[in-house]
Amino acid sequence: MDPLLNLCTDIKNCKKCDLQYSRKNPVCGFGRPSPKMMLVGEAPGSKEDDAGKPFVGRSGKVLTLALEKAGVKSHEVYLTNSVRCRPKVGRTPKVSEIKTCSSFLRLELETIRPRLVVPMGNSAIQSISTILNRKLGRISEVNDKVFHCGKYYIIPQYHPSAILRNPKKMEMFKDSFARIAAFLEDLETKKMEYIFNKYLVQSI
């Protein structure tokens, strides 16, 4: 059996927290099983809740635009969230909800084993911090920084919804993903010492 299909079944049947009462459809991760990077968002929005698929709403369009501009292909990414069920309208996930859902993200990481993880926004950073038992900080402090922890490189980014609220940051968002694309290319061809020096990588 496909471990990601089994995981998706567990997500759809999950009743571990009160988000089961505000959701229509739990949202599983989506993408190829061997991507170059995993993009981690916050929680499903209304479009995602309807479709049961991540990043199909307005935030997804912003993200797709940035990835296309950077030359990143859809098969090179895996899309997922820190929380799999939609919170009530206008509410961000609680820390307890993020921690409860982190077991799903942990299994995705262990199954997919991406070289690069891109947590987008504070909820995603909190989830990755919980799994790796490392404190990364808030997005305003760590955006665009490159971290290395065990098997993973981590480059936090603002969530696309933050770009929708402040369109002036769109060019910055595109530039960030262009840098991420260059980083992925260097990962395949350059030595670790070169990577650490060029991108000022911080080991955590």
CB atoms within 10 A of CB 140: 8
pLDDT of residue 33: 78
pLDDT of residue 89: 77
pLDDT of residue 1: 65
So where are the chain's domains? 3-203
What integer is the mean pLDDT of 168-189?
95
Mention every residue, 6+ apart, whose C-beta is less than 8 A from residue 49: 23, 24, 25, 27, 85, 86
| Whether pLDDT at 65 is above 90 | yes
pLDDT of residue 3: 87
| Whether pLDDT at 2 is above 90 | no
- As a whole number of Å, the CA-based R_g of the chain is 16
pLDDT of residue 74: 81
The Cα 76–Cα 32 span in angstroms is: 7
Q: Indicate the range of 89-98, 111-120, 166-175, 187-196 predicted with least confidence.
A: 89-98
Nearest alpha carbon to residue 36 among 118, 142, 141: 118
Whose tokens are 């797709």? That residue is 64
pLDDT band at 167 (very low <50, low <70, confident <90, very high): very high
Please, is 57 exposed, middle or buried when counting C-beta atoms within 10 Å of its C-beta (0-12, 13-18, 19+)?
A: buried
Share of the chain above pLDDT 90, in %: 88
What would the pLDDT profile of 8-48 be if each residue is shown by its tens digit? 999 999 999 999 998 999 999 999 878 989 999 999 999 99
Whose tokens are 């010492």? That residue is 193
Question: Token pair of 149, please?
Answer: 């922890």
The Cα 140–Cα 173 span in angstroms is: 13
What would the pLDDT profile of 109-158 be if each residue is shown by its tens digit? 999 999 999 999 999 999 999 999 998 999 999 999 999 999 999 999 99
- Look over the chain and give the mean of its residue pLDDT values, rounded to a whole number: 94
DSSP letter for each residue of 13-77? T--SSGGGGT-SS----EE-SS-SEEEEES---HHHHHHTSSS-SHHHHHHHHHHHHHT--GGGE
CATH number (3.10.450.50, 3.30.930.10, 3.30.110.30, 3.40.470.10) of 3-203 reads 3.40.470.10
Whose tokens are 């997804």? That residue is 60
Nearest alpha carbon to residue 63 among 185, 134, 162, 203: 162
The Cα 10–Cα 179 span in angstroms is: 35
